[in-house]
Amino acid sequence: MLVKHKRGLFQRFYVVELLKGLTITMKNMLFGKTVTIQYPEERRNYSGRFRGMHYIKATNGVENCTACMLCPTVCPAECIHIEAGERPDKEKYPVKFEIDVLRCCFCGMCEEACPKDAIKLSTIYEMSTEHREVYEKDYLLEQRGNK
């Protein structure tokens, strides 16, 4: 059986609850610690473990990557595309190295799998664009300077 309770005017309009909520809001507004920052004038320092934009490491101007295909194999988003070539000294290298960053979930598995410490994820997080972004080898090599 449905029991109906009579509610007073205060309860009907939630006046007490409203005042309690307003008190908390005012307390936070006047005495609370500011947690927001004035971006882009102010920047937050993220942890070194933050996984942002990729880059390819190079030694003496030559990319560390030997096109072993481990990173495209482990990538769960299948967003790495590599075409391998061979140098005159028979060393393999990536003729093409592309990352479709729109598909990437920044899991860091490519970095973990790389035996040559070639592909890395930097702390750069400003990657928004108005178009579909595919990072190519030259661009990825340039980004190492921004780390």
Binding site for ligand SF4 (CB under 6 A): 65-71, 75-77, 79-80, 82, 99, 104-110, 113-114, 116, 118-119
Of 33 and 114, which has the nearer Cβ to ligand SF4? Answer: 114
CB of 135 to ligand SF4, least distance (A): 10
In whole angstroms, the minimum distance from the beta carbon of 144 to ligand SF4 comes to 13
Please state the closest distance from residue 45 (CB atom) to ligand SF4, in A: 22
Nearer to ligand SF4, 17 or 112 (CB): 112
CA distance 68 to 133: 24
CB closer to ligand SF4 out of 14 and 50: 50
Residue with smaller CB distance to ligand SF4, 6 or 73: 73
Put residue 60 in one of left, alpha, beta given phi > 0 → left and psi -120 to 50 → alpha. left
Least distance (Å) between residue 27 CB and ligand SF4: 42
Which residue, 27 or 58, has its beta carbon nearer to ligand SF4? Answer: 58
- Cα–Cα distances in angstroms (integers) from residue 34 to residues 24, 25, 29, 38, in the given order: 15, 13, 9, 11
Alpha-carbon dihedral sign for residues 57, 132, 69, 96: negative
CB 142 to ligand SF4: min, Å: 16
